A and B are shown apart, each in its own frame.
Chain A
Amino acid sequence: MKEIMLGNEGVARGVYEAGVRVASAYPGTPSTEITETIAKYDEIYSEWAPNEKVAMEVAIGAAIAGARSFTAMKHVGLNVSADPLFTASYTGINGGMVVAVADDPGMHSSQNEQDSRHYARAAKVPMLEPSDSQEAKDFTVLAYELSEKFDVPVMIRLHTRVSHSRSLVEICDRKEAPLKEYTKDCGKYVMMPGMARMRHVVVEERQKALQEYAESSELNVVEMNDTKIGIICSGICYQYAKEALPNASFLKLGMIYPLPPKKIAEFAKSVNELYIIEELDPFIETFVQSLGIKAIGKERFSVLGEYSAEKIAEAILGKKTETADISLKEELPGRPPVMCPGCPHRGLFYVLKKLRLTVSGDIGCYTLGALPPLDSMDACVCMGASIGMALGMEKARGKDFARKLVAVIGDSTFIHSGITGLIDVVYNKGTSTVIILDNSITGMTGHQHNPSTGFTIKNEPTKQVDLVQLCKAIGVDRVKVVDPFDIAEMEKTIKEELAAEEPSVIISQRPCALLKSVRYTGKVVVDQDVCTGCKMCMRIGCPAIGCKDGKITIDHTQCNGCGLCLKVCKFNAMKKVGE
């Protein structure tokens, strides 16, 4: 039976069919739906871990204990979990283990465009790259066989256009993979220098065996057509290139690490002109050139952003597609993402802007507070960085600077990697004010539970991390909980905590407006006789509030009646109706 599936659902189906028993992950676009789909299968234990490093460790533990295991993450999540991965390459596994990592060329939802293929080489683990949903499933199943055959975690590299594209997949049954026997083996699993030295030898031997495998693997397919143009590519680029140049010859690499030198040399010899088509870094190209083979790659193709069939046709054939002639009179305004109507973060950022603070930011829906009109973020680097960076700013510029400086961080992000930053603040006598934006959910990635929400991935109730107690336990004496829609109270609290020359935490607490449990009722209307058109209400940056001919208008298809605007209108021109 065939079903239409996201690439991510294809990976999840592969995990299911391969008999996997344990899956742990932390969400991150474009990888999130893999684990959300796995959670629907009762045969697999699944969980959201606090971060990618823990998820990787859970998967390693489960594999050593003899189960087939799985973890998934977005590309930057691999940075977080790289430490355990690099040494799991030395210990090897027992039950098969697969790590899915989703890259995001074009940065649809990411803070950088890093190329995770480098990790496969650096950690010396094999990496497979599917080009559609069917391959996402098939490669995942095969990855478990390779993992057990070569005693190594295997990586699956995904891509936004594979993860978030739907195509047809042939469904098969689950094949149970019984637990492998577990025996204590210090030399293999305890990585101290003496043992690790022995294991490094094993890793290098395995590298040779893997390269041998790559030469003959069914994953690397040669498609001979017209020999004028030969193309080496993998993943989504294969689909683009195939569409642009259907008559060319292809070496499609399903396994991108290690690469097969003989197969590449043979293919190169059989074509006149050799192209290497890969997004981001010249990973395949560098390898091919190291073999002394001439090929055209980055001299013709960008290291920036995404490719498409059209870009490839243009770069190789010089062909431009004709488009419909639409001449527009004016330049079009962009449409950046905005906080949703009713978003609890809006109230807090309104106050931050009003107080003109320096804001050390973090990653989540609240990063949208960096954009106009809220305009209140000075820096944002990676998950969890806000608190450490605020401390760094304070240590660089002194305590006076800290009196106008806050760090903002979401609940999920705080648990992910903000706690250690806060410990640093306390331990090293910082005086920063940290604001935890607790909206009761991991919002940005589409509503996943986390340790502070009190529910598991399967919506079962569990212990909930008490953020107040946690902050107190690590030595923050000043911890306050404030509703961000109580603007006056929030402003007062922030001023007080900034003035205090010691670490303080403000928990800005109000649930995400998109949660089912949140029910705002009614709509806001503007009394046009009272409205002076002062536009104060527009400073909160609500997409439902507009202005026509000097008068404020409310878009009722968007307004959810949260009522925040009522609190900023000085003339009481806004009213709620229909409650």
Chain B
Amino acid sequence: MAVTSIMIVGVGGQGTLLASKILGSVAVTQGYDVKMSEVHGMAQRGGSVVTYVRYGDKVHSPIISPGEADIVLAFEELEAMRWASFCKKGGTLIVNTQRIDPMPVVTGAKKYPSETVEQLSKSEDIRLIPVDALSLAKEAGTVKAVNVVLIGVLAKSSGIDKDVWIQAVKDNVPERFRDMNIKAFELGYNA
């Protein structure tokens, strides 16, 4: 299989690393060669974070260049705008419709862009899927499950069997939060 390239972007602290871990383990169980590149350290402190996941018969580069991503999974609106052009023509952009003001906006030095989703939906080159993952996570029982809700949305677009995803969620979250996370996944999958 040709290489599939997926980017997970968001704000440090939103749990993007767990999402990429789940995605990575799904790709491994499918027997693919897998490479993923993560951000640790500085940017994790509330900065803009991006994780690259690539799988296929043979993967060389662990990172994705602009115009190469099949799917960009954005945990936040501003980050969706920042990374949208990494989508290939015909790629998919999944956006969690949540806004987290970056410090330059908080201090008043910059403005948060208006009509984020509207602007993105004007592009004919991408398929835009907006989701209110925060509300769905609350419905599942915790705001912390935003990442697993979004994995649910991604799973739907992936063409990989749902049960494989559910198993990967189970393998990657602590036992006591399992049911809550499965619920979050289902809510995302059916969103």
A547 interface residue (CB < 8 Å to B): yes
Q: Which listed residue (B24, B46, B106, B123) contacts A325, Cβ 8 A? A: B123
Give every chain A residue within 8 A of B41 (Cβ-Cβ). 29-30, 108-109, 444-446
B28 at the interface (CB under 8 A from A): yes
Interface hits, A511-549 → B, CB 8 Å: 538, 541, 543, 545-547
What 1/0 flags go to B52-70 for Cβ under 8 Å of A? 0000000111110111100
Per-position binary interface string of chain B over residues 84-98, scored 1 when its CB falls under 8 Å from any chain A CB and 0 otherwise:
111111110000000
Interface residue B187 (Cβ < 8 Å from any Cβ of A)? no
B46 to A338, Cβ gap below 8 A? Answer: yes
A165-B38, A538-B106 given; A308·B89 CB < 8 A: no
Q: How many interface residues does A have (CB within 8 Å)? A: 60
Q: Is B12 an interface residue (CB 8 A)?
A: yes
B174 at the interface (CB under 8 A from A): no
A547, B108: Cα distance in complex, Å: 9
Taking the closest CB of chain B, its distance from the CB of A140, in whole angstroms, is 19
Question: Are the CB atoms of A242 and B37 closer together than 8 Å?
Answer: no
Cross-chain contact B85 with A323 (CB below 8 angstroms): yes
Minimum C-beta distance from A51 to chain B (A) = 18
Q: Does B143 contact A (CB under 8 A)?
A: yes
Partner of A4, one of B28, B110, B120, B134: B28
Least Cβ–Cβ distance between B119 and chain A, in angstroms = 6
Docked pose: A286 CA to B160 CA in angstroms: 49
CB distance from B142 to the nearest CB of A (A): 10
B102 within 8 A of A: yes
Contact A373 B107 (CB under 8 A): yes
How many angstroms between the C-alpha atoms of A243 and B54 in the bound complex? 13
C-alpha spacing A310/B85, complex, angstroms: 14
Please name all residues of chain A whose beta carbon is closer than 8 Å to the beta carbon of B107 when the two chains form the complex. Answer: 372-373, 538, 541
CB atoms of B87 and A541 under 8 A apart: no
State the Cβ distance, B68 to closest chain A Cβ, in Å.
Answer: 6
A-contacting 9-mer, from B75-83, B151-159, B178-186: B75-83
Complex contact B65–A164 (CB within 8 A)? no
Q: Out of B34, B60, B79, name the residue touching A168 (CB < 8 Å).
A: B34
Among the listed stretches A214-222, A328-336, A421-429, A490-498, which one makes contact with chain B, having 4 or more residues with CB under 8 Å of it? A328-336
Whether, in the assembled complex, A239 has its beta carbon less than 8 Å from a beta carbon of chain B, the answer is: yes
Interface: B189 (CB within 8 A): no
Asked if A395 CB lies within 8 Å of chain B CBs, one says: no
- Interface residues in A292-331 (C-beta closer than 8 Å to B): 308-311, 321-330
Query: What chain B residues lie within 8 Å of A243 (beta carbons)?
Result: 60-61
CB distance from B7 to the nearest CB of A (A): 12
Answer whether residue A459 sits at the interface, using C-beta atoms and an 8 A cutoff: no
Q: List 15 A-B contacts (CB under 8 A).
A: A4-B28, A29-B41, A108-B42, A310-B68, A322-B88, A323-B66, A323-B86, A326-B85, A333-B78, A333-B112, A335-B103, A339-B46, A365-B45, A373-B106, A543-B100
Given contacts A332-B78, A543-B103, 6 further A-B contacts (CB under 8 A): A109-B41, A335-B47, A337-B47, A446-B44, A543-B100, A547-B106
